[in-house]
Amino acid sequence: MRTFSEQELVRRGKLDKLAELGIDPFGHVFKRTAFASEIKEKYGEIDHDAFDSMTDEAIVAGRIMFIRKMGKASFFTIKDKTGSIQIYISINDIGEEAYSLFKSADIGDIVGVRGKIMKTRTGEVTIKCLEYTHLVKSLRPLPEKFHGLTDIEERYRRRYVDLIMNDDSRKVAFTRPKIIRCIQNFMDQQGFVEVETPILTTLLTGASARPFVTHHNTQDLDMYLRIALELPLKRLLVGGMEAVYEIGRTFRNEGMDTKHNPEFTLMEAYLAYSDLEGMMDLTEQMYQTIAKEVIGKMVYNWGGHEINLEGPWKRISMVDAIKEVTGIDFQREMTVEEALQLAQEHHIEVQEHERTVGHIINLFFEKYVEETLIQPTFLYGHPIEISPLTKKNPKDPRFVDRFELFIGGKEFANAYTELNDPIDQLDRFEEQLKERDLGNEEANDIDMDFIEALEYGMPPAGGIGYGIDRLCMLFLEQESIRDVLLFPTMKPNDEK
């Protein structure tokens, strides 16, 4: 049986008294006319003495965050979605019965106030309460104002309390949707159409990742939660939609850390008759648009670095980036044995399914280069072995027309000149199955329906995927993905 703290027992006693007075402890509809920030902005610059001749009123509602009781008159502060505002309440203005009701209130209760706009002698915009309405009784005390939720895990687990107490968390929660809306507006203006594609799928395609598996009871069929958005969107290019994008939840059954959550928001976009260069231009413009229109600045502090989003952004090939750091020239032709020897000399472990020159190039990049790409950098020219869905470079078929965007040493986007050759695509899928046989658990399935779609003809196209959570981390200057997700994945809490 649950045991209550002393404060909880007191609050439940007050709940019973409200019921005895005929007041619903959990309230009903309440029509307000203004929000805290609107009132403070509108009246903040007006002189104190000017309020004597003003009769402006407002009806507000919010959670009580502070109370200073002073006999027959008191001050308290309520917080709504826009911020906080001070209320002055007096027995002379609202009567003994209503004032007694107010005096029984606790921090955390939700109330409504109708009152006259005024300003205190200290210059604070305040509402002089003329009508007080109890709305919701809070049965649990809030954390102390100056200590709050000090346990980071508890902040994520009880996000509702974190949002009540932590203004920075509220700012993140309200700004993230603005970023996503800005992206949607930007993409719409570029001529893209936002679409929705299935979350449940029977094939593991579109990325290299371990899936979550579920079961469809009616069809007695095991299914995956999607790991990417790619192949359905490319089918739409075949169908003639030409410029499509989706912002959707995606699921990968992998580890959790400050940069990864098992379910995350991915955006993928595909543009017919475009290519890698077109995706670079689109990306740079989109980031700079968010920076200007939502955040209002171009320089961000993230990951211990000062990141400047002003263009033009650096563009460099993977082999040139490796050569800059290590002096090794992977552009030249070399055998697998030579590449393995270089890996051994540089203490790079090569798994059985990675025993190709292309995989070893990627291992060198991950060890020596990735963390050095601090300012926005388009890294292009990936080995064909690690890019099964990408068009070969026409000048050097060992590499593909692909880029990744790196900022602060982390990947932010992945883009292709899309592979639209159904014969080549089938060969790549078959190579993926060989890798799976060698132990690569993240290798793709063969999607024969997608091959059939390509056989009808998909226009040349550029495509790109963005991690929206990481993008938000940069713009909101947050170091953990959990700080930009309202409800990050957490281990079950056994304490009740």
Question: Is 33 within 8 Å of 59 (Cβ atoms)?
Answer: yes
Q: What pLDDT is recorded for position 432?
A: 78
Residues 6 or more apart whose CB falls under 8 angstroms from that of 157 comprise 490, 493
Alpha carbons 166 and 169: distance in angstroms, whole number = 5
Predicted TM-score (pTM) of this structure = 0.91
Question: Is 338 within 8 Å of 310 (Cβ atoms)?
Answer: no
Domain limits, CATH 2.40.50.140, in the chain = 6-142
Burial bucket for residue 398 (CB in 10 Å: 0-12, 13-18, 19+): middle
C-alpha 409 chain-centroid distance: 19
CATH number for 6-142: choose from 3.40.50.1110, 2.40.50.140, 3.40.50.300, 2.60.40.10. Answer: 2.40.50.140
Alpha carbons 236 and 234: distance in angstroms, whole number = 5
Q: What pLDDT is recorded for position 387?
A: 83
Q: What are the phi and psi torsion angles at 2 (to 5°)?
A: -70, 140
Whether domain 165-313+375-483 has CATH 3.30.70.890: the reply is no
Domain limits, CATH 3.30.930.10, in the chain = 165-313+375-483
327's tokens: 């002096």
The 10 Å Cβ neighbour count of residue 157 is: 18
Instruction: Output the tens digit of pLDDT for each of the chain's 496 residues.
Output: 889 999 999 999 999 999 999 999 999 999 999 999 999 999 999 999 999 899 999 999 999 999 998 889 999 999 999 999 999 999 999 999 999 999 999 999 999 999 999 999 999 999 999 999 999 999 999 987 645 566 788 889 999 999 999 999 999 999 999 999 999 999 999 999 999 999 999 988 877 788 999 999 999 999 999 999 999 999 999 999 999 999 999 999 998 888 899 999 999 999 999 999 999 999 999 999 999 999 999 999 999 999 999 989 999 999 999 999 999 999 999 999 999 999 999 999 999 989 999 999 999 999 999 999 999 999 999 999 888 768 889 999 999 999 999 999 999 999 999 989 999 999 888 887 887 777 776 667 789 999 999 999 999 999 999 999 999 999 999 999 999 999 999 988 765 4
